[in-house]
């Protein structure tokens, strides 16, 4: 985490400097009144400096029912709890320097989520910090606007997320190209003998069809992602004390309330050494999404080639297909410059005059396969097929109620011994600003 410490210092210094610039600018012209978009947004008279507080809260009530034929994996319970609680700031110090800093506040502690500084160049933007800017669309799309309560589980299995590093983004109205080099998450603790992992990522997107009329949008999105990771081989002493070497491949069923992951290549781990973990891996993700009026059809296919710590090489895969119908008629809101979906504004948000908000119905098929034949045997991480139905209601743009039912069919987990099903019903209440 050596470079993460450096990044933290640089980001905080930049934020402090930005505040100074803003004060100097504020003296030259009277500031306009704040603009309210769920939270006040401030800018100076020239619009060069902007500042906004941001945050989100997601509270889940969920029911979990796992049936593994009377084994210890069986469980059935209902719980409730905070899924996400974040607070942060965003803005720009000058039109050339933007920032975003947001932290999760859960369980008495705080961890950084997005913590980045962006330089907006003429041809490209440069990002430095802890960011998911270089991840596939399924990971990149904000949790505030995802159509299902959880992201497709291949993102968890293959370790997408926010990491510290640097990269650049080139964009056009309907395309984007982004490339970055990253290490660990900025939140990772420093451990003696543990090496900073190395990741190189490239993502390209193109929307050959991108039209919008009062009758709705007509959009075709295509995207590809490539990622190379190297765990950089932790020292034997670090493995002995921290019990980790290389990358794990595992995922919970749909629904984050589950503590258990029923598919996992970490089965039967010997002391400090998992049965199968990656030394280096390559991840290829293909994205496609089509919007026609109120209908969205989207799919991802992810394929990972792994060179394991133990020498056996394997390949795993995953993917999802989504069908989402905005029953109230709105088209999904796509951004060609970032190649992702953002908030869809309700055509008739609930106001004192009436309105019914945005109502969505979604269906998803989600697959993660962590089983593969390798030289001299077989990796038996298991396969999970999930079928998810979602009913979402956004009475206004910044408030949502999302009911999900997920049926997970799990085969061959835990070294081939775990086969069963898990059902998750979750009701999420969320707001953001």
Partner 1 sequence: MKLSKIARLALGATAALAIAAAAFGVAQAQQKAAGRGIFTIVIDGSSTVFPISEAAGESFQQQMQGRVRVTVAESGTGGGFRKFCRGETHVQDASRPITSTEMLACQNSGVRYIEIPIAFDALSVVVNPSNPVQTITIEDLKKIWQPEAQGRITNWRQVNPSFPNLPLSLYGAGTASGTFDYFTEAVNGKAKASRTDYQPTEDDNVTVQGVAGEEGAMGYFGMSYYLENTSRVRALGISYQGKPPVRPSPQTVENGTYVPLARPIFLYVNVAALSRPPVAQFVNHYLTNATTLVRQAKYVPLPASAYQTGLERVQRKSAGTAFGGKNDIGATITEVLQRPLVLTPTS
Q: Is residue 222 involved in binding partner 1 (CB under 8 A)?
A: no
- x/- letters, 70..89, toward partner 1 (CB under 8 A): ------x-x-----------
334: tokens are 């796509």
Residues 422, 251 contacting (CB under 8 angstroms): no
Cβ within 8 Å of residue 172, ≥6 positions away: 336, 337
Q: Give, as ranges, the residues between 349 and 368 that touch partner 1 (CB under 8 A).
A: 359, 361
Q: Which is nearer to partner 1, 285 or 410 (CB)?
A: 410
Q: Is residue 343 involved in binding partner 1 (CB under 8 A)?
A: no
Token pair 């390559």 is found at 282
Q: Is residue 391 involved in binding partner 1 (CB under 8 A)?
A: yes
Q: Which stretch binds partner 1 (CB under 8 A): 124-132, 195-203, 216-224, 252-260?
A: 216-224
Q: Which is nearer to partner 1, 57 or 347 (CB)?
A: 347
Q: Which is nearer to partner 1, 245 or 392 (CB)?
A: 392
Min. distance of Cβ 356 from partner 1 in angstroms?
Answer: 8
Q: Which is nearer to partner 1, 248 or 402 (CB)?
A: 402
Q: Is residue 169 involved in binding partner 1 (CB under 8 A)?
A: no
Q: Is residue 2 involved in binding partner 1 (CB under 8 A)?
A: no
Residue 300 vs residues 320, 346, 401: alpha-carbon distances, Å: 5, 26, 25
Question: What is the total count of residues that contact partner 1 (CB under 8 A)?
Answer: 36
Q: Please give the backbone phi and psi of residue 28, each rounded to the nearest 5 degrees, phi first.
A: -85, -20
What b/e sequence results for 182-206 when a residue is b if at least 16 CB atoms lie within 10 Å of its CB, and e otherwise? bbbbbbbeeeeebebbbbbbebbbb
Residue 328 vs residues 30, 80, 189, 267, 381: alpha-carbon distances, Å: 42, 29, 46, 46, 41
Q: Is residue 334 involved in binding partner 1 (CB under 8 A)?
A: yes
Q: In angstroms, rounded to a whole number, what is the distance separating the alpha carbons of residues 256 and 244?
A: 23
Q: Is residue 181 involved in binding partner 1 (CB under 8 A)?
A: no
Q: In angstroms, rounded to a whole number, what is the distance separating the alpha carbons of residues 389 and 323?
A: 10
Residues 180, 184, 187, 193, Cα dihedral to 10°: -150
State the residues that interact with partner 1 by CB under 8 A.
63, 65, 67, 76, 78, 173-174, 207, 210-215, 217-219, 325, 327-329, 334-337, 359, 361, 389, 391, 403, 405, 407, 409, 421, 423, 425
């Amino acid at each position: 985490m050596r470079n993460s410490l450096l990044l933290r210092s640089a980001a905080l210094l930049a934020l402090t400097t930005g505040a100074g610039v803003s004060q100097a600018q504020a003296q030259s012209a009277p500031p306009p009144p704040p603009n309210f978009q769920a939270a006040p947004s401030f800018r100076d008279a020239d619009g060069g400096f902007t500042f906004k507080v941001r945050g989100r809260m997601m509270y889940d009530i969920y029911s979990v029912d796992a049936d593994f034929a009377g084994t210890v994996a069986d469980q059935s319970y209902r719980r409730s709890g905070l899924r996400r609680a974040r607070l942060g700031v965003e803005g720009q110090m000058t039109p050339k320097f933007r920032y975003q800093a947001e932290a999760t506040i859960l369980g008495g502690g705080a961890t950084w989520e997005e913590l980045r500084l962006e330089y907006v160049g003429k041809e490209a933007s440069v990002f430095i910090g802890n960011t998911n800017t270089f991840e596939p669309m399924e990971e990149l799309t904000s949790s505030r606007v995802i159509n299902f309560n959880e992201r497709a589980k291949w993102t968890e299995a293959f370790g997408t997320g926010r990491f510290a590093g640097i990269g650049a983004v080139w964009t056009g109205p309907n395309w984007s190209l982004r490339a970055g080099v990253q290490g660990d998450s900025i939140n990772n603790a420093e451990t003696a003998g543990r090496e900073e992992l190395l990741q190189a990522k490239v993502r390209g997107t193109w929307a050959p069809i991108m039209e919008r009329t009062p009758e709705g949008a007509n959009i075709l999105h295509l995207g590809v992602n490539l990622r190379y990771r190297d765990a950089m081989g932790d020292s034997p002493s670090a493995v002995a004390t921290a019990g980790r070497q290389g990358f794990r491949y595992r995922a919970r069923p749909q629904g984050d309330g589950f503590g258990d992951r029923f598919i996992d290549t970490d089965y039967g781990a010997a002391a400090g050494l998992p049965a199968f973990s990656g030394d280096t891996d390559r991840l290829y993700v293909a994205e496609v999404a089509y919007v026609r009026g109120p209908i969205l059809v989207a799919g991802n296919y992810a394929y990972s080639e792994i060179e394991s710590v133990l020498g056996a090489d394997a390949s795993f895969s995953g993917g999802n297909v989504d069908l989402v119908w905005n029953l109230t008629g709105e088209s999904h809101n796509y951004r060609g410059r970032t190649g992702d979906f953002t908030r869809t504004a309700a055509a008739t948000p609930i106001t004192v005059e009436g309105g019914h908000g945005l109502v969505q119905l979604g269906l998803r098929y989600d697959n993660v396969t962590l089983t593969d034949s390798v030289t001299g045997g077989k990796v038996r991480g298991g396969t999970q097929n999930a079928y998810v139905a979602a009913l979402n209601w956004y009475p206004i743009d910044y408030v949502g109620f999302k009911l999900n039912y997920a049926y997970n069919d799990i085969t061959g987990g835990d070294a081939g011994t775990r086969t069963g099903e898990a059902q998750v019903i979750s009701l999420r209440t969320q707001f953001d600003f």
